Structure 1
Amino acid sequence: MVEATTDPVRLPPGPPIPKLAQGLMMLTVRNQAVSAAHRRYGSEFTVNVPVLGRTVVVSDPALTKDIFATHRDLIVRPGHNLGATIGPGSTFSLEGEEHLSRHKLLVPPFHGKRVRGYEPIVEEEVRREIAGWPEAQEFETLEPMMRITLNVILRTVFGAEGAALAELRDLIPRAVAMGSRFVLLPAAARRDLGPWSPGGRFKRIRARIDTVIAGLIEDARSDPHSEERADVLSLLLAARYDNGEPISDAHISDELLTMVVAGHETTATQLSWTIERLRRHPDLLARLTDEVDAGTSDLRQRVIWESQRTRPVIDNIPRRTKQRVRLGEWVLPENTNMFISIQLAHMEEANYAGAEQFNPDRYLEGAPKPPLWIPFGGGVNRCIGANFSNMEMDIALRTLLRELEIEPTGAPSERLWDRGVALAPRHGGRAVVRRRCMSVVTAAPIPAQST
């Protein structure tokens, strides 16, 4: 149990090398550096890097569980560059009661029947994208997966169509790419120093996005059938806090953009990693295809869980102490940054026998649970889009395997590539596909898309 204390500070040990050198290692070979520190110092160690300073890395399951359960008076999610970039109405920018109140309003659109109602949109977008994939020719899957997840989220979250959909398809990838780079930069580097500065370009792109979203908000409010709409924007417009107040339009704009940044690139990257993993496990790929043809999904769900365990697209969960606290045998001072290491928790042999192996059958007895499996975080800050992401991956994989044969490969595994927000396959999750026999594959035609 984490508790406040006045005992002398006692940080876990860590590498004795200079701060700048540690920072360079974290930027260039973070995965290897973290693994090496874990082998040397154990499940808790301290790194010292530029911008963040001394940061305690934690992977012990008991301590992770304690951190997730600790009251926000002691430990909080730190102020995040992503939140500062997106805006004050973003979930990443909120703390305390304000965060809990917003979280309560965001949960309903991402659970149960409402999420399942989005399945046809996912299938439609997958089929539309793969119609143009080359046959018998290796290509990168990451960018196509990005297009799929972007279109899905624009339609299900924004309710966008026509000209608004086309404009957001152009603007949002540019905003996400710039925002991803801003995540690791101090505030000074994000300032608007004119139209040609990075901060200035981002500000102008964001202003145009806000204008488009304002139009979508107005359309939703004036829609005579608004009560029948299922897009998240409409649901947020109708949502009310406990005091009866609505979410402001500016905060809805920030929140919608947060959903894109947090859900679009990460889900696309996880799909690309899943294809990369399956190509290197031909027996599993064959079993999965047979399951799709049989109309079942148990193995597919286990594959998704194992992809998230072995290739998590986010490798740590940040927290910060608000007071001096005791964490296990350690005493951390106020304003100490902490990283709960997803990477280490998922690859610890004590947590998963044969942890390096890609083995979905390890979940035959049940779903993985925190704190051993934490791709979506934990506690009150657990990702609200977890169910949506899982549904999107499930339907996308089902559609891909129903329509295509994915060719196995003997090539070495792709290494990690840090894109700023997500850890992606170094070579883009390369694949070779062929169309399946139409006597096996039966599907409804793809509806025409408005432009």
Structure 2
Amino acid sequence: MLQQQPPGPTPRFPNLLMRFRRNPLLFLTQAAREYGDVVRLKFGPRELILLNHPDDIQAMFVTNQKILAKSVVLQRSKRLLGNGLLTSEGEQHMRQRRLVQPAFHRKRIAGYAEVMAGYAAEMREQWQPNQVFDVHAEMMRLTLRIVAKTLFDADVERDAQAVGEALEHLLNRFNVMILPFAELIERLPLASNRRVQASIHYLDQLMFRVIEERRRDQRDHGDLLSMLLLAQDTEGDGTGMDNQQVRDEAITLFLAGHETTANALSWTWYLLSQHPAIAERWYRELDEVLAGRVPTMDDVQNLSYTRMILAESIRMYPPAWIIGREALAEYQVGDYVFPAGIGLTVSPFVVHHDERWYPNAYQFNPERWTAEQIAQRPKWSYIPFGGGSRICIGEQFAWMEGILLLATLGQRWRLKLVPEHPVALQPVITLRPRHGIKMVAVAR
């Protein structure tokens, strides 16, 4: 017999929303542990269904994807990002996916490997023995340079602060977008709203100027922007993208390629500093595989333990910690039937810390990522890049970048956490370290 409502915490508004806002990771984890694989979360007029089982996650990402749209938060984010891959729907999304995909073909991203390792090598030369810095800020600076070079063939070292601040304002806006009255808040004459609008204007000026220059130039610069401008929808109407669509895709890739990788690397350095035996084994791999030279694309497949470390770090601290959908039609999960319009939510953080799939889930253990261990778990118990037709288009780019940057910097340096520095999670649109991560550089 079909049931109408799954279990969940008592829906006292605004208490439930305040608990979620105070510590969303703890709130969702406790809800999953207490109420099971399908949990009802009612925040006043807004109702969400939290899905925690790999089978239900697969159904959301793959089986039922045609009757699902992006979450309300991402629909609102069109005001920031436009109609790019992250926010577009239906036929528009399929067309854009076809147009953008060639930019991420293996041969194309192999050309970016030299940029990634080269910029990381420059950074490791700048570090000094016993220097103290916020490794999160350093990783943000590094990934910003890389995404600017690979996306626009531009070195933004001079403009890095202004670009970084503009991106920061846009990312902080997502904190507002998850609130029930976000549309009203965004219309108020607040300083934060003015900063967001100024940031959008600044980034638009920057991007449209580069796009117009490239339109006149018409050469392939070997970067992602060239691919976006040259792309033609041969399976559709044969046309390419106009300037607005190129802008929307470019700013989406700029934000996603910069922020998420920097967070993943920051948490990895933190975890390595807390597990010296794992770090020592990692250093041995770097020395044996690379023998002192800067890594290349060909080395990525041989840096197997580096990949295991990165995979485990992303499991524990997934940059995309929550993923949402909206049902366009009646939606069934097991014995529950939900009406059209219901919100469905999956938290990679919650799933990645489920003891059913990851015993001692809060323990850092790269050995989880041997082929034998992977084969014993459900595929959909690891979802840092989403899944289905909307899986992150830059996944292979991100793996290559993460491995190359860790290897290049780790050849020369070990990073130790500054004693008593507070390390806390800050789940905004991505999973950041709330206070940064202050570390000391120690020469190897």
TM-score (norm 2): 0.88
Identical columns (%): 26
Structure 1 pair 203–56 and aligned structure 2 pair: CA distance change class (3 A): same
Match of residue 431, structure 1, among 424, 428, 439: 439
Structure 1 pair 134–20 and aligned structure 2 pair: CA distance change class (3 A): farther
Report the 3-state secondary structure (helix = DSSP H, G, I; strand = E; otherwise coil) of the residue aligned with 1:371: helix
Alignment-derived partner of residue 53 in structure 1: 46
Q: What is the alpha-carbon distance in structure 1 between the residues aligned to residue 241 and residue 361 of structure 2?
A: 44
Match of residue 175, structure 1, among 150, 166, 183: 166
Alignment-derived partner of residue 337 in structure 2: 331
TM-score (norm 1): 0.87
> After superposition, where does 1:43-442 map in structure 2 within 5 Å?
43-49=37-43, 53-79=46-72, 80=74, 83-161=77-155, 165=156, 169-185=160-176, 186-191=182-187, 193=189, 197-223=191-217, 226-227=219-220, 229-241=221-233, 242-295=236-289, 296-365=302-371, 368=374, 370-407=379-416, 414-418=423-427, 420-436=428-444
Q: What is the alpha-carbon distance in structure 1 between the residues aligned to residue 90 and residue 3 of structure 2?
A: 26
Counterpart of 2:87, as a letter, is S
CA contact (8 A) 1:141 1:430 kept: yes
What does the per-residue CA deviation read over 1:77-98, in whole Å, with 9 as the maximum and x for residues that have no partner? 2241563232433223311011
Structure 1 pair 209–87 and aligned structure 2 pair: CA distance change class (3 A): same
- Gaps (5+ residues) in structure 1? 1-6, 437-451
* Aligned-residue CA RMSD (Å): 2.4
1:410 Cα deviation after fit:
8.3
CA contact (8 A) 1:280 1:410 kept: no
Q: What is the alpha-carbon distance in structure 2 between the residues aligned to residue 381 and residue 273 of structure 1?
A: 25
CA contact (8 A) 1:266 1:422 kept: yes
Counterpart of 1:352, as a letter, is Y
1:137 Cα deviation after fit:
4.5
Number of residue pairs aligned between Structure 1 and Structure 2: 421
Counterpart of 1:181, as a letter, is N
Q: What is the alpha-carbon distance in structure 2 between the residues aligned to residue 125 and residue 367 of structure 1?
A: 34
CA contact (8 A) 2:173 2:196 kept: no
1:223 Cα deviation after fit:
3.2
Structure 1 pair 181–9 and aligned structure 2 pair: CA distance change class (3 A): farther
Q: What is the alpha-carbon distance in structure 2 between the residues aligned to residue 354 and residue 244 of structure 1?
A: 52
Q: What is the alpha-carbon distance in structure 2 between the residues aligned to residue 59 and residue 121 of structure 1?
A: 39
Counterpart of 1:187, as a letter, is E
Report the 3-state secondary structure (helix = DSSP H, G, I; strand = E; otherwise coil) of the residue aligned with 1:183: helix
Counterpart of 1:39, as a letter, is R
Counterpart of 1:251, as a letter, is Q
Q: What is the alpha-carbon distance in structure 1 between the residues aligned to residue 98 and residue 64 of structure 2?
A: 17
Report the 3-state secondary structure (helix = DSSP H, G, I; strand = E; otherwise coil) of the residue aligned with 1:131: helix
1:143 Cα deviation after fit:
0.7
What does the per-residue CA deviation read over 1:61-118, in whole Å, with 9 as the maximum and x for residues that have no partner? 1111111113444222224156323243322331101101101211221231211211
Q: What is the alpha-carbon distance in structure 2 between the residues aligned to residue 200 and residue 409 of structure 1?
A: 37
Counterpart of 1:423, as a letter, is L
CA contact (8 A) 1:54 1:337 kept: yes
423-432 or 402-411, larger mean C-alpha shift: 402-411
What does the per-residue CA deviation read over 1:8-33, in whole Å, with 9 as the maximum and x for residues that have no partner? 76132111151211111111111111
CA contact (8 A) 1:306 1:358 kept: yes
Q: What is the alpha-carbon distance in structure 1 between the residues aligned to residue 318 and residue 26 of structure 2?
A: 15
Q: What is the alpha-carbon distance in structure 1 between the residues aligned to residue 20 and residue 4 of structure 2?
A: 23
Structure 1 pair 189–175 and aligned structure 2 pair: CA distance change class (3 A): farther
Report the 3-state secondary structure (helix = DSSP H, G, I; strand = E; otherwise coil) of the residue aligned with 1:414: coil
Q: What is the alpha-carbon distance in structure 1 between the residues aligned to residue 286 and residue 29 of structure 2?
A: 37
Q: What is the alpha-carbon distance in structure 1 between the residues aligned to residue 202 and residue 225 of structure 2?
A: 18
Alignment-derived partner of residue 449 in structure 1: none
CA contact (8 A) 1:83 1:91 kept: no
Report the 3-state secondary structure (helix = DSSP H, G, I; strand = E; otherwise coil) of the residue aligned with 1:354: coil
Counterpart of 1:200, as a letter, is R
> After superposition, where does 1:9-48 map in structure 2 within 5 Å?
10-48=4-42
CA contact (8 A) 1:312 1:375 kept: yes
What does the per-residue CA deviation read over 1:162-200, in whole Å, with 9 as the maximum and x for residues that have no partner? xxx35752443222222222213212333485xx74333
Q: What is the alpha-carbon distance in structure 1 between the residues aligned to residue 339 and residue 117 of structure 2?
A: 50
Report the 3-state secondary structure (helix = DSSP H, G, I; strand = E; otherwise coil) of the residue aligned with 2:129: coil
1:148 Cα deviation after fit:
0.5
1:214 Cα deviation after fit:
2.2
What does the per-residue CA deviation read over 1:99-153, in whole Å, with 9 as the maximum and x for residues that have no partner? 0110121122123121121112112222333333353254321111000011100
